[in-house]
Chain A
Amino acid sequence: GAGVSQSPRYKVAKRGQDVALRCDPISGHVSLFWYQQALGQGPEFLTYFQNEAQLDKSGLPSDRFFAERPEGSVSTLKIQRTQQEDSAVYLCASRKKSGLGERGNTQYFGPGTRLTVL
């Protein structure tokens, strides 16, 4: 597809369940980002991949959050033992390149997955 896609678009989980959120970046994009956007707030950085390497996971709020991108394209964000405070929209973004001079370039965002934990 032409843009970043995410699935599912909506997910309802019972407290304690594990969830997996998928991101398909734009084909050929080297960099991939995950953000968490709470209701009425701006997105907050979670983690960053360059190809298959997870270079920054400083934003992951706890060890219940885990992200992977094993083949350098599709990425999955997994949340174990979900809690109510995990309810948010999870945004994925990709960027064409990864070099120092490219960091100011455009990140293309997906539509997000709205996670509701009951």
Chain B
Amino acid sequence: AQTVTQSQPEMSVQEAETVTLSCTYDTSENNYYLFWYKQPPSRQMILVIRQEAYKQQNATENRFSVNFQKAAKSFSLKISDSQLGDTAMYFCAFMKHSNNDMRFGAGTRLTVKP
């Protein structure tokens, strides 16, 4: 079975600074997808960034980037120039290439302070 672990239940960062959220996963699969989702308070979950395991290059989306270490089964999210609107729960998720069962971590609550 696949498991996703987010070891930081809560984090905070000053506005405009950089923060990194950790995620590790356990799988015997070679082909899979990894995702970071953002869930603002009382709002819908939205995709932040995704990575395909066969791609060595780390994905980036504007201020968001990942550090994908396949051998270490690590998939951290870096948020640069943090903004107040980044305050949310962040979930790391894993999906095997062969099915549609997406597994989520327990989440990290990020607070951006002014």
Q: Give how many A-B residue pairs fall within 8 Å (CB-CB).
A: 55
Q: Which residue of A lies closest to B39 (CB)?
A: A109
Write the chain A residue with the least CB distance to B105: A42
B interface SS class: strand
* Total residues of chain B contacting the partner, CB 8 A: 23
Check if B99 sits within 8 Å of A43, measured CB to CB. no
CA distance A42 to B38 in the complex (A): 11
Contacts of B106 in A (CB 8 A): 40-42
User: What residue in chain B is nearest A3 (Cβ atoms)?
Assistant: B44
Q: Are A42 and B107 in contact (CB under 8 A)?
A: yes
Say which one of A18-26, A54-62, A71-79 lies at the interface with B: A54-62
Q: Which residues of B contact A4 (CB under 8 A)?
A: 44
Q: How large is the interface on A (under 10, 10 to 19, 20 to 34, 35 or more residues)?
A: 20 to 34
Minimum CB distance partner of B33 in chain A:
A104
Could you give, for residues 32-52 of chain A, a 1 whenever the CB lies within 8 Å of some chain B CB and a 0 otherwise? Answer: 010000001111110010000
Q: How far is the CB of B51 from chain A (nearest CB, A)?
A: 9
The answer to whether A59 and B101 touch across the interface, beta carbons within 8 angstroms, is: yes
Q: Is A91 an interface residue (CB 8 A)?
A: yes
Any chain B CB within 8 A of the CB of A31?
yes
Q: How far is the CA of A91 from the CA of B103 in the complex (A)?
A: 14
Residues of A within 8 A of B47 (CB): 106-107
Cα-based distance from A40 to B50 in the complex (angstroms): 23
> Residues of A contacting B4 with CB < 8 Å?
42
A109: shortest Cβ distance to chain B, in Å? 4
Q: B97 in the interface, Cβ–Cβ < 8 Å?
A: yes
- B50's partner among A33, A41, A44, A104 (CB-CB below 8 A) is A104
Pick from A31, A43, A58: contact of B91, CB under 8 Å: A43
Instruction: Please give the residue numbers on chain A whose beta carbons come within 8 Å of chain B beta carbons, in ascending order.
Output: 3-4, 31, 33, 40-45, 48, 55-56, 58-59, 91, 93, 100, 103-104, 106-107, 109-112
Q: List 6 A-B contacts (CB under 8 A).
A: A45-B102, A56-B101, A59-B101, A100-B97, A103-B97, A104-B33
